[in-house]
Amino acid sequence: MELLQLKYFQTVARTEHMTKAAKELHVSQPALSVTIARLEEELGVPLFDRVGRQIRLNFLGKAFLKKVDTALGALEVGKREVADLAGLERGSVLLATTTLNRIAELITPFLAEYPHINFRITQASTEEMKVELLEKGEIDFCLTSSFIDRQGIGNLALMTEEIVLAVPSTHRLKDRQRIHLSEVANDPFISLKPGYSFRKITDDFCRKAGFIPNIICEGDEPAAISGLVRAGLGVAFLPIAAKKELPSLTLLHIEEPICQWTPHVAWNENQYLSLAAQTFRDFVERYDYEAKP
DNA sequence: TGTGTCGAGCTTTGTTCTGA
DNA sequence: TCAGAACAAAGCTCGACACA
């Protein structure tokens, strides 16, 4: 049994789709099929149920996957512990985030202080995906839109930030500084897809204002939303920091209800954190978002 | 140390089978 | 009809090993 077989099995088990897994692993689909078949032959039992053109992880596969996750996770931790013990200068921090837009705000001052530490940043669409990556030990940290209330997950608040309403330059309220959210109850909204915690937060704002938003466009990439607002498709919630990044956007302060969010950095408390990761967490803890230029 | 051989594992290409 | 899994064949790369 080889590590490569186990890594391939992990990916196929997660995707339950040979072609997708092969693409993810950068191998051809036949090669992956053969590798999985060899692993099953070696174990003497099928790990997947083949139903027509679909493959589904069976109960044996599920049981094996738990052991594989544990084994590969332990190896990864071992690698990092050894690297730390060896005093390697070039530590790395693995981070997942939804949007790459504002990540630089946090990382730039950190790298200025610790230029020898590498960052590996991966994009994860939803909070669920991020928690899954944390629990599997595939990342050290994730940036989330809110506190993750789950056992074994540590959280550090980055800041509390005002959420404003972005409107097209032709909008009837464009000359107003402040509005009540209920004033746009009938406007078309552009939003992130369900599953994003920022979407849940903004849906709650609307609920507090007494309406369900008429969402005409749901996207995956927060950065694209501002473009659709500018094009006049509708209005959208954005963090106030968007004003600095997109000065041409018309942003209205919301008086009622109070619209704020508190992004967090979260990590798995049960997972070994490398020296580099511990350094990053300490940095986040003492970093003053409000005081930055 | 350099070279040839062998096997493992991979790729690409094409085909078959099956189910939506 | 189309998409996806599985399989086969031919060829390539690479590492291990034997041998001069």
Of the residues A39, A54, A80, which one is the last residue of a structural domain?
A: A80
Mean pLDDT over residues A108-131, rounded? 83
Query: Do residue A247 and residue A267 come from a single domain?
Result: no
| A8 and A67 assigned to the same domain | yes
Q: Are A151 and A267 in a shared domain?
A: yes
Q: Which residue has the tokens 């004003």?
A: A243
**Does A134 lie in the same domain as A63?**
no
Lowest mean pLDDT among A180-189, A243-252, A283-292: A283-292
Q: Do A142 and A72 sit in the same domain of this protein?
A: no
Q: Residue range A2-10: average pLDDT? A: 74
Detail the DSSP E strand segments found in A104-171: 118-123, 141-144, 153-157, 161-167
Question: What's the burial of A69, exposed, middle or buried (CB within 10 Å: 0-12/13-18/19+)?
Answer: middle
Both A217 and A231 in a single domain?
yes
Band of the pLDDT at A208, cuts 50, 70, 90? very high
Domain check: are A154 and A267 in the same one?
yes
Q: Strand C: list positions under 7 Å from protein Cβ.
A: 3-9
pLDDT at residue number A293: 39
Nucleotide in closest CA–C1' contact with A32:
B10
The percent of residues in chain A predicted with pLDDT above 90, rounded, is 16
Domain harbouring A59, CATH code: 1.10.10.10
CA nearest to nucleotide B10 C1': residue: A31
Share the mean pLDDT of chain A.
Answer: 80
The CA distances from residue A75 to A69, A72, A213, A249, A273, in Å, are 10, 5, 47, 48, 14
Query: Measured between alpha carbons, how far is A34 from A51 in angstroms, rounded to an integer?
Result: 18
Q: Which of A80-84, A186-190, A251-255, A288-292 has the lowest mean pLDDT?
A: A288-292
pLDDT of A210: 93
The answer to whether A24 touches A80, Cβ cutoff 8 Å, is no
Are residues A229 and A268 located together in one domain of the fold? no
Q: Are A22 and A32 in contact (CB under 8 A)?
A: yes
Q: Is strand C less than 7 A from the beta carbon of A33?
A: yes
Q: CB–CB of A189/A216 below 8 Å?
A: yes
pLDDT digits (tens, 9 = 90+) for A150-172: 888 999 988 888 899 999 888 89
Higher pLDDT, A7 or A158: A158
Q: What is the mean pLDDT of residues A67-85?
A: 74
Distance in Å, residue A54 CA to nucleotide C1 C1': 19
What pLDDT, on a 0 to 100 scale, did the predictor assign at position A164? 92
Q: How far apart are CA A228 and CA A97, in angstroms?
A: 22
In one-letter notation, the amino acid at residue A215 is: I
The structure tokens listed for A129 are 């995906």
pLDDT (0 to 100) of residue A292: 46
Is A246 in the same domain as A165? Answer: yes
pLDDT tops 80 at residue A178: yes
- Choose the final residue of a domain: A62, A80, A98: A80
**Residue A187 and residue A273 share a domain:** no
- A71/A153 same-domain check: no
Domain count, chain A: 3
Q: With a 7 Å cutoff on the CB, does A19 touch strand C?
A: yes
Helical (H) or strand (E) element with A39: helix A29-43
Last residue of a domain, one of A25, A48, A80: A80
Is residue A113 predicted with pLDDT exceeding 80?
A: yes
Q: Which strand B bases fall within 7 angstroms of a protein CB? A: 9-14, 17-20
Mean pLDDT within A276-292 = 78
Domain extent for A72 = 3-80
Alpha-carbon distance of A194 to A17, in angstroms, equals 24
Same domain, A233 and A103: no
Mean predicted confidence (pLDDT) in A211-220: 86
pLDDT bracket for residue A107 (50, 70, 90):
confident
- Residue A170: give its domain's CATH number: 3.40.190.10
